[in-house]
Amino acid sequence: MRFQVNRDVFSEAVSFVVKLLPQRNPQPILAGVLIEADGSGLTLSAFDYEASARTTIEATVDTPGTILVHGRLLSDIASRLPNAPIEIAVEDDGGITVTCGSARFTLAAMPVEEYPSIPEVSGSSGVVPADDFGTAISQVGFAASRDDVTPVLTGVQLEVSGQSLSLVATDRYRVSLRDVPWDGEAVETTALVPARTLLEVGKTFGHAGTIQIAFSGAGDREIIAFTAGNKTVTSLLIKGNFPPVRRLFPEQTDHYAVVNTADLIEAVRRVSLVLDRAAPLRFTFSSDGVTMDASGSEHARASESVDAILSGGDEVTLGLNPQYLIEALGAVKSEFVRVTFTSSDNANKLSPVLITSQTSVDQAGLDSFKYLLQPNLLLR
């Protein structure tokens, strides 16, 4: 095999396909990138049995063929080569040479015949706006659990209903939800996608115009595919029942406070500096604004107030995880935020707060982002 390819195009393609590979793979063969060269150009692929990435690029192919080479090493080399065309060839001794200007590397070939087949997807599909979908992933993905003990909570649930695609994530302490327009088959479909994979899709495809999403497979090999332009990412779905968290969102939202988002973020960051790790921050919402109070070890104390408008009810005092709140405020993406105090049928259980966007002091945001955060018990 021998081909020539543009340095920047090749470097970007290799970087894309290796992003989804785990840093440490128990099977060395899965650390490889498969490069297939034919008359139409190059196809680069990576697969670890759970997620795959594939892209096609233009190249001048002198001798068609297929090679498998260590992905991260090739990516590191390609990103540092001089600004000149790259030539890659398989030598008589089986080694793979990478030549660019006066730079020359020789890499070991990995056995192509041992590499697994890249999954193909052919099922129901639809199209979503890439910018909306990328934003939605960033607003929801961080709320998924990072604890593998409960695999279903490490994913983001995608739910197709009519002309809407919902993204939902929870780690038991919070729930994040966002809807985006869906243009495709109006069949009700759900897919539980690993949050790590979906976050990479959002970063990579967020400015692609549109993204095609396809569902395929059955049983233990259900997969989902995301395609934009010449790039495709597939992911094996997480098996299990995602908790019915939608019912936790309240119908009535009459008792709430409206606060400037940036002011609240900065105040929470400052006051929480004295908190012990994992301790809640005390918030008091009143007609005078919102006051934050914290006390920690070494007899350190802090307090700060931020202007807020309270509507529909009396003063409220509660404890919230400051990091969870900051992540929610960063996801709101609006100048103001509405903090709604929900009610519960259980008098012995704290009711969650609902966080939504607010474009101005008196006008709710237009997007469908919703975030529920469970308060913590405050020690008196």
Of 17, 20, 13, 19, nearest to 51 by C-alpha is 20
Inter-residue contact 5 to 60 (CB < 8 Å):
yes
Mapping DSSP onto H, E and C, the string for the chain reads CEEEECHHHHHHHHHHHHCCCCCCCCCHHHHEEEEEEECCEEEEEEECCCEEEEEEECCEEEECEEEEEEHHHHHHHHHHCCCCCEEEEECCCCCEEEEECCEEEEECCCCHHHCCCCCCCCCCEEEEEHHHHHHHHHHHHHHCCCCCCCHHHHEEEEEEECCEEEEEEECCCEEEEEEEECEECCCCEEEEEEHHHHHHHHHHHCCCCEEEEEEECCHHHCEEEEEECCEEEEEECCCCCCCCHHHHCCCCCCCEEEEEHHHHHHHHHHHHHHCCCCCCEEEEEECCEEEEEEECHHHCEEEEEECEEEECCCCEEEEECHHHHHHHHHHHCCCEEEEEECCCCCCCCCCCEEEEEEEECCEECCCCCEEEECCECCCC
Provide the Cα torsion 231, 237, 238, 244; round to 10°.
100
The alpha-carbon radius of gyration of the chain (Å, integer) is 25
Sequence letter at residue 83: N
Q: Which residue stretches of the chain have pLDDT < 70?
A: 218-219, 344-349, 377-380
What's the pLDDT at 119?
A: 87
Mapping DSSP onto H, E and C, the string for 215-267 reads EECCHHHCEEEEEECCEEEEEECCCCCCCCHHHHCCCCCCCEEEEEHHHHHHH
What's the pLDDT at 25?
A: 73
- Cα 120 from Cα 122, distance rounded (Å): 7
CA 356 vs. chain centroid, Å, equals 19
What phi and psi values does residue 269 have, to the nearest 5 degrees?
-60, -40
Which tens digit of pLDDT belongs to each residue from 319-373? 999 999 999 999 999 999 999 998 766 555 678 999 999 988 888 777 789 999 9
What's the pLDDT at 107?
A: 96
